[in-house]
A and B are shown apart, each in its own frame.
Chain A
Amino acid sequence: MSEHDDIGGDFEGRNALVAEYVLGLLSAAEHERIGRLIENDPGLQAERDFWLNRFSALDDEYTESPVPPHLLARIEARAFGDTVQSGRRASLWNSLALWRGIAAGALAVAVVAVAINLSQPRFDADQMAIQLVAALQAQEGSGVEFLAVYDQSQGEVRITSLKGAAVPNKDFELWYINENQPAVSMGVIPVDQRLEIALDPATQANIGPGTVLAVTLEQTGGSPTGVAQGPIVAVGPAVAI
């Protein structure tokens, strides 16, 4: 699967650039330029992570040194002073660490989701809109779990994979199922990534407490027929929060 990288002498300078970036050897202008290139290129990000991980093995050599005790109060004043106005809501969804950290049962997920809800600074009309959370638990040892949150005010489902790995030549597909009705596809979803799925008004109207969300393993690109063909790997009911 992995081919040998053909790193010859010619590539010397080009390949060193990301390493130089990680080491911090570039000038301010170059550093910024390369930083932007890396942000937009997964291949370069992998290259950056390669070097970061390798060099971080040297971190042991930084000797610990206690911080003067009076600094903590200053840090907290500076850190917490500005938390009220910052929009926490959007960025929370970017936190894979958070969602992986709470990869437990549906109850735990719901509790945390409620806590987040309560921590919103204001309780305005938008917040009264329906919010649902579904913890899609692994089925039959699939080892695949997802967390889905539906926010009616945004008209979208946000889905995050909590556990599991991609399967070669297969895709995971998300479905919603209402009682006595066939499953309806919401599209193919990635593992190791968060995805926002915008829902059309008809779909929005069909999703409510008790709707079951399920993930199946389908051929690449998803089921071609619109009917689930593969095994269910994760499933869970939506509950209001």
Chain B
Amino acid sequence: MTMLTSPSQEIADLIARCAIRDRSAFRQLYERTSAKLFGVTLRILKDRAEAEEAIQEVYVKIWQRADRFVAGPTSPISWLVAVARNHCLDILRARRPASDDLDVALEIPDGNPSPERVAQNNQERAAIDRCLATLEPDRAEAVRGAYLDGYSYEELASRYGVPLNTMRTWLRRSLMKLKDCLTV
């Protein structure tokens, strides 16, 4: 039986095969995705030796957690990037001084966000670009830096030369503005 499968579907299938311990699938998945994920670890950790160590741990995690991947809400490559990104952020977070929580008493929302459908990737990209463009340029840059480079509030505050609390207020307002824009 021959089927036309998208690259995304192929990666989803490879992840599913990893879940049933298919080692050749793991190798194929690695060949197809490791350069991308290595790019993630390099950019966030900013240290080649650490990134090399991290990429190993990331793929061990992917092998161990392949059965947790649920197709649908996230694209498979986004899922893989998230595993790599979160791993790097965990490393950075563990290293940071246990700063006072700025706002520990914060309440979590009751949360009834409207259900989201995943649109095509380029539409998503256009949406986030359009909405980031509604923010002041340096705030949009700060949001991007937080996501892509894993910058902490401390790092962002010093990059933009503002007090920590100001940075946090900035960013939170920006995130809410972003949400309004992305939800429309």
Interface residues of A (CB under 8 A from B): 2, 5, 7, 11-20, 23-31, 34, 37, 41, 43-44, 46-47, 49-50, 52-68, 71-72, 74-76, 78-80, 83, 86, 88, 91-92, 94-98, 100-102, 104, 112, 115-116, 119, 192
Interface residues of B (CB under 8 A from A): 1, 12-13, 15-17, 19-21, 23, 26-27, 30, 34-36, 38-40, 42-43, 52, 55-56, 59-60, 63-64, 66-75, 77-78, 81-82, 85-86, 89, 92-94, 96, 98-99, 101, 103-104, 106-116, 118, 121, 124-125, 127-129, 143-144, 146-148, 150, 152-153, 171-173, 175-176, 178-180, 182-183
The one of B15, B38, B115 that contacts A97, using a Cβ cutoff of 8 Å: B15
Q: What residues on B are CB-neighbors of A23 within 8 Å?
A: 143, 146-147
B39 x A64 contact (CB < 8 A): yes
Q: What residues on A are CB-neighbors of B1 within 8 Å?
A: 104
The interface residues of chain A, by DSSP majority, are classed as helix
**Bound CA–CA A119/B26 (angstroms):** 17
B74 x A97 contact (CB < 8 A): no
Closest 10 CB pairs of A and B: A43-B111, A57-B124, A64-B35, A56-B78, A101-B16, A16-B172, A24-B89, A95-B67, A79-B63, A57-B125
The interface residues of chain B, by DSSP majority, are classed as helix
The one of A18, A46, A86, A97 that contacts B70, using a Cβ cutoff of 8 Å: A97
**Bound CA–CA A65/B111 (angstroms):** 39
A94 x B68 contact (CB < 8 A): yes
Q: Given A58-B147, A62-B36, A80-B23, does the pair A97, B89 have CB atoms closer than 8 Å?
A: no
Q: Given A54-B182, A97-B12, does the pair A67, B38 have CB atoms closer than 8 Å?
A: yes
Q: What residues on B are CB-neighbors of A75 within 8 Å?
A: 30, 55-56, 59-60
Q: Smallest Cβ distance from A22 to chain B, in angstroms?
A: 8
**Bound CA–CA A94/B39 (angstroms):** 30
Q: Smallest Cβ distance from A54 to chain B, in angstroms?
A: 5
Q: What residues on B are CB-neighbors of A41 within 8 Å?
A: 108, 111
21 example contacts (A-B, Cβ-Cβ < 8 A) are as follows A11-B176, A14-B108, A15-B109, A16-B171, A16-B172, A17-B109, A24-B146, A25-B171, A27-B96, A44-B111, A52-B74, A53-B78, A58-B148, A64-B36, A72-B27, A76-B27, A92-B20, A95-B16, A97-B16, A97-B70, A115-B20
